[in-house]
Chain A
Amino acid sequence: MAELSIVEAINDAFHVELARDPSVMVMGEDVGRAGGVFRATAGLRDKFGPDRCFDTPLAEAGILGGAVGLCMAGWRPVCEMQYDAFSYPCLDQLITHVGRYRWRTGGKMSFPLVIRMPYGGGVRAPELHDDSPETYYVHTPGVKVAIPSTPSDAKGLLSAAIRDPDPVVVLEPKLHYRTLRGDVPEGEHVVPLGKARLAREGDDVTLVAYGSMVPLCELAADALEGVSVEILDIRTLKPLDEDALLASAGKTGRVVIVQEAPRVCGFAAELAAILAEKAILDLRGPVLRVTGYDVPYPYWQIEDAYMPSVERVTAAVRKLLDF
């Protein structure tokens, strides 16, 4: 075990996976010479050469479209989108080709590519460096989506994504890139996609979250004196570990879902719908959501007011306990 930050764990995963499989390559804006604007790909160009850690032109659709062709030529490309909101041009390729190409060939060709990006706010950044775009990705058929919240999962889920035969999108909580440190297994470390993580066991209420909302839920749980709080870290949004969600809901009977993205049709709505369909008799109160608001992510002087907070989460839990 080594104690690493999330961004160091991602870098570690790259070093291990590029050494393990010579068909894995990294491409994106500033990933090579600079090692990525967050240094997630630092050292890869020196170690594996400029072709396997490739500085692309500034063209997000071109990066992902190029990756489709690279898959056809036998490569396993990992594409970095420099920021969440800069990934939107690549949605064209994602929706029209990445999620459909295997289906279009009757399952005869696979597209084992990865798209990864830092996501989320709270970092006092300019506009469009703060978005939580997971719903766009989850909603696209044919792609999987993972969002780690710990250094160990950041390495393990990225490694799983690189090895997965389907296209996988990995969103990384940039707020905690360097603020969170934790033990990370050395060498090969894979956390299977589709398995949630019970971050904390409890009996009275379940907080369901992923990514940067998990540490927030831990703070909220600490603040809820006298309440036994369970925290379920979803980790993989698609495929979803429905069993873990239903098991926790069945155990506590109370569920609050915490999501940084805007509310309407966010992933919290999907989780709430599943609970309504499959756990209604286990529930002792309504499924509540604490989310961002349905507004553009604000300028940073007022971003704290947008973000789910300990106060908003504890208030939702108290409301549910009083139901």
Chain B
Amino acid sequence: MAVLPAERDLRRVIGDADGAGDREVDGLGEQELLELYRSLVLLRTYDERSVVYHRQGRIGTYAIFWNHEAMQAGVVHALDDEDWIFPSYRESAIGLLRGMPPATVLSWWRGHPAGWWNPDDYGVASICVPIATHVPHAAGFAWGKKLKGERACAVAFFGDGATSEGSFHEGANFAAVTGAPLILLCNNNQWAISTPLEAQTRAETLADKAIGYGMPGVRVDGTDVLAVYEAAREAVARARAGEGPTFIEAFSYRTAPHATADDQRAYIDLDRVEEERKRECVGRFGGYLRRAGILHDDLAESIRTEAAEAMRAGIAAAEAEPPADVSLLFEHAYVDPPASFDSDLEELRRTLG
């Protein structure tokens, strides 16, 4: 198979960025479009409420994903239920799109064991905190499913900084060599905490990296949910047809601090941030739906209210979790724990009184 040059132009469907008109995506009817919008609003509400909860001291340090909702929802909507998602911390709430209760994700950010979910229940792996080390997991999973003759594929989400990591390289290469049905979804928001893209790579585009692995490299406007959906759907089709992995560079701009513990005024041009915020992804898609006559004020309001209610119930449920018992220190480290755990726990309980 000849390796084609990676794409350079950003794919777009929503026509407000470059003066081109709106396009339609084959197979997406009004219901599907509204479902996609609900997903965006749910993620946006989760994110905005989480920043508030953090300031109120109700959750711990939180990695903000404001303006990344489109690339998350666009990909998930292109998957089937059997396909697995391998998130980084930037996609912490992506399980909501698979029916995971907000309380579970909030518990994770509250450092409570109720945030330990079973990846099998949602097809969502645990949140990967170190950079790019989950890329080989996704590759191994996808290949393992292929070996079993199952049709599931996998998607790994990671950022622009992750492409500098050895684990990204090893995972991408492993997937290519094994023909694993994998989508490598690179969230290129152009910042790795304070390190700008130009200090991360001398590659002209991150999609160019795909050439070295012998896989297609695609570039999409990461704030255009329909463009992301369309690219992901193509990649899923390739994966299911046995044509191996695809690298998708979802291009965007990080318009919020890296996390609640970060003060980006030290390194970022705030005027640029303000410019980028004007074309944030939820509003762009809302505009598209309104131009198509699908969304109107009442419906938008009811979708927002529904999401806000879900979050209110979620934080209440997370805060209602009883304190975790100290036995959880030991309980899940092994299927078959060493004998010393018994005496350690006994001593701990004695000293705790």
Q: A: which residues have CB within 8 A of B?
A: 51, 56-57, 59, 61-62, 64-70, 72-75, 77, 89, 92-93, 96-97, 99, 101-110, 141-142, 144, 164-166, 194, 238-240, 242
Contacts and interface: CB of A to CB of B under 8 A. Distances in A.
Contacts of B142: 69, 73
Contacts of B135: 65
Contacts, number: 145
Nearest to A72: B141
B335 A74 contact: no
The 9 closest A-B pairs by CB, nearest first: A65-B136, A69-B140, A73-B144, A62-B170, A106-B116, A66-B140, A69-B141, A107-B332, A108-B118
Contacts of B334: 102, 142, 144, 166
A75 B333 contact: no
A167 to B, nearest CB: 9
Nearest to B125: A72
Contacts of A97: 133-134, 137
B177 interface: yes
Contacts of A70: 140-141, 143-144
Given A57-B177, A65-B167, A104 B140 contact: no
A103 B333 contact: yes
A73 B151 CA distance: 12
Contact of A93 (B116, B133, B145): B133
Contacts of A238: 338
Contact of A68 (B117, B136, B170, B177): B136
A74 B145 CA distance: 8
A106 B333 contact: no
Nearest to A96: B130
A111 to B, nearest CB: 9
A65 B140 contact: yes
Most chain-B CB neighbours within 10 Å: which of A72, A96, A142, A194? A72
A108 B133 contact: no
Nearest to A62: B170
Contact of A73 (B121, B145, B171): B145
Interface of B: 84, 113, 116-121, 125-126, 130, 133-145, 147-148, 154, 166-167, 169-171, 173-174, 177, 331-336, 338-340
Nearest to B330: A103
30 contacts: A59-B169, A61-B133, A62-B136, A62-B174, A65-B136, A65-B174, A68-B137, A68-B140, A69-B154, A70-B143, A72-B125, A72-B144, A73-B140, A93-B167, A97-B137, A102-B335, A105-B332, A106-B113, A107-B332, A107-B335, A108-B116, A108-B121, A142-B333, A142-B334, A164-B336, A165-B336, A166-B336, A238-B338, A239-B340, A242-B340
Given A70-B141, A74-B148, A92 B133 contact: yes
B329 to A, nearest CB: 10
Contacts of B121: 108
Contacts of B332: 102-103, 105-107
Contacts of A96: 130, 133
B173 to A, nearest CB: 6
Given A142-B334, A164-B336, A239-B339, A65 B171 contact: yes
